[in-house]
Amino acid sequence: MKNNSIAVIGAGKWGQALHFALSQKQKVLITSRTKKEIENFVDLKTALECKYLIIAIPAQEIRNWLKENFVFNGQKILVASKGIEASSGKFLNEIYADFVPKKNIGFISGPSFATEVKQGLPCALVINSSSEKLFEQFSPFFPNFIKTYYSSDVIGAEVAGAYKNVLAIASGICEGLNLGKNAQASLIARGLVEMERFGKFFGAKKSTFLGLSGAGDLFLTANSTMSRNYRVGLGLASNKNIEDILKELGEVAEGIKTAEAIYNLSLQHNVYTPIANEVKHILDGKNPKDSLKDLLKH
């Protein structure tokens, strides 16, 4: 394993943006299931031989991908995905724990549209890990237009990054139904309270929800058509079915499966998650206007 060798696994929108950003300072390899015309594209075996890995594949695919492809040989890993596994209700750090020791893994969070990162626009990200050393090792790889912060609140960052995708769907629905800016601000603010309540149940710190990982990423995603999840919400508000919305999108919208995961976890643990629950019901076919009535009930 060569010192400082680094690879991105997953060449979707976020994987390519991170590859672009980190390539400003050193050579960075990249790999994906299908070969792509990107500089320094390599096969998976070569990528797995690197000392540092950034894994940017959708949350629902991670367990199988790890089972089928991953061999741990001491690599340091940054997980770039945001979501909760719907089939099990497991957080990504729990899934990775079966394959990678805790001190070798970190999770990226914070407001970061791939399109803007790929243009070299400034942004701030958090590297969340039980090991501050891991943060210190990864941080120098990032270019000068990305500021990195450290947090040990892995579960807080994970809940925030996953939950905001569900709230972005809700916010897109709000916009699509022309409910007004008062309604949208109320939804986002109550959404923040809701995600903090949910996170607290699983041991997250309140401060995480007030910073980049929580409010930062929520305000970004729930206010912009650059968000895939927000666009899913717009589609649902105009009565499109989810298959057509996804076909049009052509990329992953993690909030769909994460809504299901949060719904099931909230039932199991009796945590109050009204907005996420309504998103789940709308995805299952409930009329968004009926959801609105239910959310407004005293």
Ligand X SMILES: NC(=O)c1ccc[n+]([C@@H]2O[C@H](COP(=O)([O-])OP(=O)(O)OC[C@H]3O[C@@H](n4cnc5c(N)ncnc54)[C@H](O)[C@@H]3O)[C@@H](O)[C@H]2O)c1
Report, as residue numbers or ranges, the catalytic residues.
Answer: 164
- Residues numbered 69 to 108 that lie near ligand G3P (CB under 6 A) are 82
Residue 286 interacts with which of ligand G3P, ligand X, none, CB < 5 to 8 Å by class: none
Binding to ligand G3P by CB under 6 A, coded x per residue (else -) over 147-166, reads: ------------------x-
Instruction: Identify the CA nearest to 103 among candidates 68, 124, 130.
Output: 130
Nearer to ligand G3P, 75 or 158 (CB): 158
- 176-202 in b/e form (b: 16+ CB < 10 A) is bbebeeebbeebbeebbebbbebbbbe
Alpha carbon separation from 97 to 72, 106, 151, 278 (Å, rounded): 11, 11, 18, 31
Annotated binding site for NAD(+): 10-15, 114, 228
Distance of alpha carbon 258 from alpha carbon 270, whole angstroms: 17
- Is residue 11 a contact point for ligand X (CB under 6 A)? yes
- Is residue 83 a contact point for ligand X (CB under 6 A)? yes
Longest Cα–Cα distance in the chain: 61
Annotated binding site: 10-15, 33, 82, 110, 112, 114, 164, 217, 227-229, 252, 254
Instruction: Identify the CA nearest to 73 among candidates 101, 31, 92.
Output: 101
Sheet with 123-128, edge to edge strand ranges: 29-31, 6-9, 52-55, 76-79, 105-109, 123-128, 146-151
CB of 2 to ligand G3P, least distance (A): 31
Binding to ligand X by CB under 6 A, coded x per residue (else -) over 215-254, reads: ------------------------------------xx-x
Binding to ligand X by CB under 6 A, coded x per residue (else -) over 32-61, reads: xx----------------------xxxx-x
Tokens representing residue 222 in the block: 């729930």
Whether residue 217 contacts residue 165, with contact meaning beta carbons closer than 8 Å, is answered with no
Binding site for ligand X (CB under 6 A): 10-15, 32-33, 56-59, 61, 65, 80-83, 112-114, 251-252, 254
Residues near ligand G3P, by CB under 6 A: 82, 111-113, 165, 168, 217, 220-221, 227-229
